[in-house]
Structures are given as structure tokens and as C-alpha cells.
Amino acid sequence: MSIDFNNHRVVPAQTIEAPRVFGTTVTLEPEDFQAILEKQDQPLVVIQKWGFFVTEYRYLTSYKGLAFYTKSGEQLALPPGTELVRARSMYLPG
């Protein structure tokens, strides 16, 4: 649920829990990140494969003015039409 501040009423909406927010960057669980991608017609995703002994995949996208970030031990299934940018490094505070 979200609040319509203009009309002072509660409006039903999809809610995604964000365990961490830094500035305009929101850290999500992988399944919530995928839900954000599904809302976009042609999402743009920055991806980084990281790790030495254990591989980790890091993903970053933007949606409605915010940057959304997640990491996963396995590659995520990205929607058809997703544009990928492969990053050599990616730094997000926290």
C-alpha cells in the first residue's frame, strides 16, 4: 500500500522491501531486482562478474530516477530485450 498525500488516502501498490538504500541506490534481493526489470520495456543492466574462489554476479539498473542493485551467486534470468553493459569493476558504498 502507498499513501496518496494529495488526497490523504491509501492506494494499493506493489511493495518491494529494500534492505539498504544509499543516496539514490537501492539494494534489493535478486527476485525483487528481477521484478523491477519486468516493469521496463527495454531495461538497461550493468553487470559485473566478480570473485576469485567464489563467483558473484553484480547487477545495476535504473528505474524512475533511482538506481537498483543486487548481487547473486548465479546469473539472473534477464527479460528479453535487456541491454547489457559489462563492467570491469563496480563500486557501491556499503
- Whichever domain contains 65, its CATH number is 3.30.720.90
* Ramachandran class of 81: left when φ > 0, alpha when ψ lies in -120 to 50, beta otherwise: left
Q: Is 92 domain-assigned? A: no
6 Cβ neighbours under 8 A, 6+ residues apart: none
Total structural domains in the chain? 1
The pLDDT of residue 90: 81
**Pairing state between β 44-50 and 2-4:** unpaired
Q: Model pTM?
A: 0.74
18 vs 82: CA distance, rounded Å: 23
- For residue range 30-57, list pLDDT tens digits in order: 999 999 999 999 999 999 998 889 999 9
Averaged over 18-30, what is the pLDDT?
72
Q: Is 30 domain-assigned? A: yes
- For residue range 58-72, list pLDDT tens digits in order: 999 999 988 999 999
17 vs 88: CA distance, rounded Å: 29
Domain span at 56? 16-86
Give the count of beta carbons closer than 10 Å to the beta carbon of residue 2.
10
